[in-house]
Amino acid sequence: MEDSTFILKIDSLSYGGRGVGRRADGKVVFVPMTIPGEKIHVRIDKEHSSYIQATLVDIINPAPSRVRPRCKIFTSCGGCSWQHISYEEQLHWKQDILVGEITKICKTIPDNIYPPVASKKIYGYRRHARIQCLYEPEFKMGFFIGGSNEVACFEECPVLNNTIQKTLTGLSSILRRYPVYNLSEINIRAPQDDVLVLARCKGRIRDRDISIMDKIYNELKISGISFIVPSPHRRDWVLGQRYCSYTLTIGDIQIQMESGFEGFIQANAYINNAMIKYIISLANGSKRLLDLYSGSGNFSLPLTIRHRQTTEIVAIDNNKRLVHQGKLNARKNKIKNTKFFCMDTAKAIQVMAAESVCFDTIVLNPPREGAKDVIDNITPLGASRIIYISCNPTTMARDITTLISHGFKFKSIRLFDMFPQTYHIESIAYLER
């Protein structure tokens, strides 16, 4: 039987965060927790027909960019993948992966590949977190282990901001003393001063659980807390505020925003503001703009205020809560020329095309799956500019290829490092007809 361990040199990093090398027979090997240039000893986990999944056994020659991870459970937690790599090297490889995916799928490169926008904070930047909860028998919390339903438990997480970490510490103390055995997950949002805690529970909420909710709210002095039982018997109990407030500061403009318990907030405030500022520059001169997958107005509302010459912005999303919040945010900032619609994006495109509704600029911010459902039908809307925001370079490159086939020129790409210490890539592509 062939030996399951061997020596390997790591040549690159893959989208997904693993080191990539080739065994002596030429077969590709993927190894987590490694860095290009390292000579390592690995053990085969699973051998497929075209590649091997392996585990790091020992580092023979470490890379100069290898650093000590700050997190005690880094090797087991599924949240971070690159804490062992210096931040400068992380940016280098994210840029390399982004350009590589574009080149491979689009078979072309844009006119301009701009340098990455680095995060101001590389730890302590996350403004929201989803924590798994269990009792074994005492209360424990953690993140899912990568690729599994098992939980890596922790006392503190270095990528969470101080407010969330402080709230989690207080929650852990209370829930150890006063267990809520139906509790399965805690969502925390702390974009600025306000803190919202959403506790998802399985099964029935008891009177005792409601008293514990009251204890959490008063002891931790948070802005709002909700205990929720999911569908089909959905019901929620709320104490305090249902929304947290925060400010988007873009140059000399400030926009007051609110987000609910199940709203969406970009994880990294500095990078989010940098992205908004960049999108505003790309949309300069727009008279009529369409914001697809708009959420609660993170991009469309700043665009409206900055581009006062824009006669109208139409924002479309299929999430009722986010669209409702977008309308409230527009009202809060006295913005009248942004219209929010709750519709399926593909259906909305078809309706507008049939009614000969046109725009000069389209902003796309689709989920990880990309915009395959709308990308073929965008051309009839007449836009001369497409601004594509993506968290997945593979699906973005696929959609850009389609846009190129419809007569658009790929003008530029820029990486914005929303998630330091992870392999995740946020980028903005710009195309012109």
Q: What residues are labeled active site?
A: 391, 426
Nearest to 270 by CA among 250, 290, 288, 287: 250
Decide: 34 and 56 in contact? Cβ < 8 Å: yes
pLDDT tier at 309 (50, 70, 90 boundaries)? Answer: low
Which domains does the chain show, CATH number per domain? 5-66 (2.40.50.140), 93-120+267-432 (3.40.50.150), 128-244 (2.40.50.1070)
pLDDT tier at 213 (50, 70, 90 boundaries)? Answer: very high
User: Beta strands 183-189 and 196-201: pairing type?
Assistant: antiparallel
CA count, 13 A, side-chain hemisphere, 266: 27
Across the range 51-78, mean pLDDT stands at 95
User: Which amino acid would we find at residue 254?
Assistant: Q
Give this prediction's pTM. Answer: 0.94
CA distance 396 to 7: 36
CA distance 64 to 2: 33
pLDDT in tens, 162-178: 999 999 999 999 999 99
Residue 20 has pLDDT above 60, yes or no: yes
Q: Token pair of 102, please?
A: 């574009």
First and final C-alpha spacing in the chain: 59
Q: What is the DSSP string of 320-351?
A: HHHHHHHHHHHHHTT--SEEEEE--HHHHHHH
Residue 265 has pLDDT above 50, yes or no: yes
pLDDT tier at 1 (50, 70, 90 boundaries)? Answer: very low
The CB density around residue 102, as the number of other CB atoms within 10 Å, is 24
Q: Which residues pair with 426 in a beta bridge?
A: 416
Average pLDDT, the chain: 94
The phi and psi torsions of 202 (rounded to 5 degrees) equal: -105, 130
The CB density around residue 412, as the number of other CB atoms within 10 Å, is 15
The three-state (H, E, C) secondary structure of 385-422, written as one string = EEEEEECCHHHHHHHHHHHHHCCCEEEEEEEECCCCCC
Q: Using the 8-state DSSP alphabet, how is residue 205 labeled?
A: P
- The CA dihedral of 338, 343, 346, 351, to the nearest 10 degrees, is -80
CA distance 151 to 139: 13
Residue 2 has pLDDT above 80, yes or no: no
CA distance 46 to 350: 46
CA distance 75 to 59: 15
For 23-37, 198-212, 362-376, which range has the lowest pLDDT when averaged over its residues? 198-212
Q: Using the 8-state DSSP alphabet, how is residue 198 labeled?
A: E
pLDDT in tens, 342-356: 999 999 999 999 999
Q: How far is CA 92 from CA 89, 397, 425, in A?
A: 5, 19, 12
Residue 260 has pLDDT above 60, yes or no: yes
Residue 401 has pLDDT above 70, yes or no: yes
Residue indicated by tokens 């995916």: 101
